[in-house]
Amino acid sequence: MCGIIGIASYKDISKEILESLKKLEYRGYDSAGISTINNGEIVENKCAGKVSDLEKLIKKTSLSGNIGIGHVRWATHGAPNQANAHPHSSEEVSVVHNGIIENSAIIKKELIDKGHIFKSQTDTEVVTHLITENLKKMNYLESVFETLKKLEGSFALGIIFKKFNNLIVGARRGSPLAVGYTDKEKYIGSDSYALNSMTKEVSYLDDGDVCVLTKDKIEFFDKNKKKIEKKIHKLANDEAVYSKGNFKDFMSKEISEQPEVIKKCINEYLDKIRKEINIVNFPVDPKKITKVNLIACGTAYHACAIGKYWFEEFTNIDVSVDVASEFRYRNNKIKTNELYIFVSQSGETADTIAALDFCKKKGAKTCAIINVTESSLSRLADLVLPIHVGPEVGVASTKAFTGQILVLLLFILKIARNRNEIKEEEYLNIIKDLENIHSKVSLILNNKKIIEDLAVDFIDIKGSIFLGRGLSYPVALEGALKFKELTYLHAEGYPAGEMKHGPLALVENGMPVIVIAPKDRFYEKTISNMQEVIARGGKILLISDHADEVATSENIWSEIRIPKIHKFLSPFLSNIPLQLLAYYVALKKGNDIDKPRNLAKSVTVE
Ligand code: M6R
């Protein structure tokens, strides 16, 4: 999951290429680099670290050229150092790559036997040497096709040539690649977001496609080298939403946007007069669905886990929830009367795409709940339900999680109503509370200072446990994920009732245990589990909407009171303090909030 950019222009592209790389940094920030063609030579600049480090390097060495490719890296093969940073260049060719070349070790050996000398530990460098070898006997396009034939794995590639110095070749198999057009320039990019500030017209390569860009035109070829045409998509003009505004970081901006995005998303889906949810074109008739399968990764998986509880509450449909990286390799019995729902913020997560592809190939009907509508997943699914939360830049997912559970809930309510499995009164009560939920999220956000003050006590902890039951169990999982991702401190999410089957052994004097206990049918049981933790010295931070002096007693270290809401809607509120807690602890530790170490926003490798 790296970021690629390529620009073919009539003018010097150094500034544009750097700016695009800054936008692509959410895909990886271990190292960065650029190659241009300057005075008939390939000039490569690259370094370990962020794009700002590359910018400093380039100021010293100077960079220019009308044709160039750039890259931000998330290391897979080889440490994040200068030698392993992309581009990887020979005398003749320079290559940037996103994905993994699975048979690189075998190819490398063959090339070494032919006298090629490798400078890095990356899988990508074999592409550079293979093309260089092929160029000895064929033209640039043939040499690329010949190289692609040998590669196994997934990739998006950007390639420039010393001898063919007015063009860029792009290729895709498995990893996404977009191209962009203006009158005077042409582009390739890992996604349309990187191209958005330069053009509003893009096309997407399909697997096996190759494209050739000059400043004047783009030509497309399919895997059989046949010339093909591509549909041109218009991008929305939403540059302003990519700015931090007055916020310190994107994450705090995105947390604070949640009341607004909830309102916007409800407006998109709900007919407020008829109280109808506007979702049509079901790929499987809701009345005939025999089972629903929810599949995703990370935070989106936690959204699915919440969806399972809702499906079971409101419908009689069987439900399974799966992590995409497991689902795609299991011996799944895919059935055409089941519905397969994929949830993803980016729509580019490699495992989620592969899982959807697997289902499609077996004839199943698929639905994707996504944020980035110009993504691979949205092009593949039979039904696409956007979450309408706007671009999420911070690596830690916050407003997208809220949007994902909101759209899942609306979808489930729609299916339940269609099947006559939810009582009208219950449906209307939920809709009524949903319409008002944004103001309750605002109330929690207005009191964030309480959480900021509590955060100081978490800086030096050894680890923490997040507990919940029912709908609050996936909330606990999500709270723990956010906490470890941002603070680099160990955190474990657990079903409160499972503690005594092992994890209770971890609890010692002063260990922070975060208990999520809204007043639902699990409340008393969770409070009992909490007392078991207190008895072992656990330091409790309770998140609840219920004032219960007797049950909670003076043994609680601290409590965050959230507003009351319909019992099935509690995740929308209980998750917010957990986002804030992770944020403030990370801030106080001085961690990089928007780019936590070792991670990337879009996980395009499996
Ligand atoms: O783009 P996706 O929603 O498919 O991404 C899935 C996960 O990589 C993502 O949710 C990840 O877990 C977040 N960084 C967590 O905050």
Q: Which of 19-33, 152-166, 514-528, 531-545 has the lowest mean pLDDT?
A: 19-33
Ligand 1: does its nearest atom lie under 6 Å from the Cβ of 298? yes
Neighbouring CB atoms inside 10 A of 300's CB total 26
Distance of CA 152 to the CA centre of its chain: 25
Q: Which amino acid is at 188?
A: I
For ligand 1, whether the C-beta of 293 sits within 6 Å is: no
Cα dihedral 448/449/453/459 (nearest 10): 50
Q: Is 189 in the pocket of ligand 1 (CB under 6 A)?
A: no
237 has a pLDDT exceeding 80: no
Q: The tokens 């605002």 sit on which residue?
A: 442
What's the Cα-to-Cα distance from 28 to each of 71, 592, 602, 605, rounded to whole Å?
Answer: 9, 14, 8, 12
What is d(CA 471, CA 494) in angstroms, rounded to the nearest whole number?
12
Return the pLDDT at 549: 67
Contact between 451 and 560 under an 8 Å Cβ cutoff? The reply is yes
- For helices 298-314 and 472-487, give the axis angle rounded to 10 degrees: 170
Q: In what order do the strands lie in the sheet with 93-101?
A: 88-89, 93-101, 153-161, 168-173, 210-213, 218-221, 227-228
Who contacts 364 (Cβ-Cβ below 8 Å, separation ≥6)? 334, 335, 336, 338, 340
Ligand 1 proximity of 120 Cβ (cutoff 6 Å): no
Q: Which atom of ligand 1 is nearest to the CA of 346?
A: 1
Which H helix or E strand runs over 277?
strand 276-277
Distance CA 1, CA 289 (A): 35
Percent of the chain with pLDDT over 90: 83
Give the tens place of pLDDT for each residue, 281-334: 899 999 999 999 999 999 999 999 999 999 999 999 999 999 999 999 898 889
- pTM score over 0.85: no
Is it the case that residue 242 has pLDDT exceeding 80?
A: no
| Position in ligand 1 atom list of the atom nearest CA 377 | 4
Please measure the distance between the N-terminal and C-terminal CA atoms of the chain and give it in whole angstroms.
9
How does residue 176 score in pLDDT terms, banded at 50, 70 and 90?
Answer: confident
Active site residues: 2, 601
pLDDT grade, residue 207 (50/70/90)? confident
Query: Is the pLDDT reported for residue 374 higher than 90?
Result: no
The per-residue pLDDT for 129 is 98
Residue 276: φ, ψ to 5°: -100, 145
pLDDT given for residue 149 in this prediction: 96
**How far away, in angstroms, is 397 Cα from ligand 1 center?**
6
Residue-wise pLDDT for 451-488, tens only, equals 999 999 999 999 999 999 999 999 999 999 999 999 99
Q: What is the distance of C-alpha 353 from the center of its chain?
A: 12
Least confident of 77-86, 113-122, 123-132, 469-478: 77-86
Token pair for 505: 């052994």
DSSP state, 173? E
pLDDT of 221 reads 98
Token readout for 106 is 């075998």
Distance CA 260, CA 280 (A): 25
Residue 337's Cβ-side half-sphere holds a number of Cα atoms within 13 Å equal to 6
Sheet strand arrangement including 31-38: 41-48, 31-38, 67-73, 3-8, 186-189, 178-181, 201-204, 233-234
Question: Looking at residue 145, what is its pLDDT?
Answer: 97
Probe ligand 1: pick from 345, 348, 393, 605, max atoms within 8 Å of CB? Answer: 345
| Contact call for residues 25 and 2 (beta carbons, < 8 A) | no
**What is the reported pLDDT for 553?**
64
Distance 186 CA to ligand 1 centre (A): 31
pLDDT per residue as tens digits for the range 406-458: 999 999 999 999 999 999 999 999 999 999 999 999 999 999 999 999 999 99
β-partners of residue 255 are none
Output the pLDDT for position 241.
Answer: 64
Alpha-carbon torsion angle 432, 435, 439, 444, nearest 10: 80
pLDDT at position 28, please?
82
State the pLDDT at residue 337. 92
Nearest atom within ligand 1 for CA of residue 297: 6
Question: Residue 236: is its pLDDT beyond 80?
Answer: no
Predicted local confidence at residue 379, as pLDDT: 87
Distance 251 CA to ligand 1 centre (A): 14
Residue 156 has pLDDT above 70, yes or no: yes
Enumerate residues 6+ apart whose C-beta is below 8 A from 80.
30, 31, 48, 73
Q: Is the CB of 297 under 6 A from ligand 1?
A: yes
Ligand 1 pocket, mutate which of 29, 254, 295, 297 (most atoms under 8 A from CB):
297
Which whole number is the average pLDDT over 148-162?
Answer: 95
**pLDDT score for 555:** 79
Residue 501 structure tokens: 């089957």
d(CA 226, CA 243): 41
Report CA(192)–ligand 1 centroid distance (Å).
19
Q: Which of 328, 325, 330 is nearest to 298 (CA)?
A: 325
Q: Report the atom number in ligand 1 closest to the C-alpha of 299.
A: 10
> HEC string of 227-263?
EECCCCEECCCCHHHHCCCCCCCHHHHHHHCHHHHHH
Q: What is the pLDDT of residue 61?
A: 76
Q: Is the CB of 300 under 6 A from ligand 1?
A: yes
Cα 563 to averaged position of ligand 1 atoms, centre (Å): 28
Q: Can you give the pLDDT at residue 78?
A: 85
Tens digits of per-residue pLDDT, 518-556?
999 999 999 999 999 999 999 999 999 988 766 666 678
371 lines ligand 1 (CB under 6 A): no
Q: What's the CA-to-centroid distance between 393 and ligand 1, angstroms?
A: 11
Per-residue three-class SS string for 305-341 = HHHHHHHHHHCCCEEEEEEHHHHCCCCCCCCCCEEEE
Residues 409, 413, 418: CA angle, nearest 5 degrees: 150
Neighbours of 316 (CB within 10 A): 9
Residue 604: pLDDT above 80?
no
Q: Calculate the CA dihedral of residues 581, 585, 591, 592 and round it to 10 degrees.
A: 20
Dihedral sign for Cα atoms in the order 441, 447, 450, 452: positive
Indicate whether 238 pLDDT > 70: no
Between CA 62 and CA 34 the distance in angstroms is: 12
**Which residue CA neighbors atom 9 of ligand 1 most closely?**
298
Query: Is any ligand 1 atom within 6 A of the Cβ of residue 47?
Result: no
Residue-level pLDDT at 75: 84
**Please, what is the average pLDDT of the chain?**
94
pLDDT at 240 exceeding the cut of 60: no
DSSP 349-404: -HHHHHHHHHHHHTT-EEEEEES-TTSHHHHH-SEEEE-------SSS-SHHHHHH
> Is 605 near ligand 1, meaning CB less than 6 Å away?
no
Residue the block writes with tokens 């096709």:
145
Burial class, 45, CB count within 10 angstroms (exposed 0-12 / middle 13-18 / buried 19+): buried
pLDDT band at 376 (very low <50, low <70, confident <90, very high): confident
pLDDT tens, position by position, 53-93? 999 999 887 778 999 999 999 888 888 899 999 999 999 99
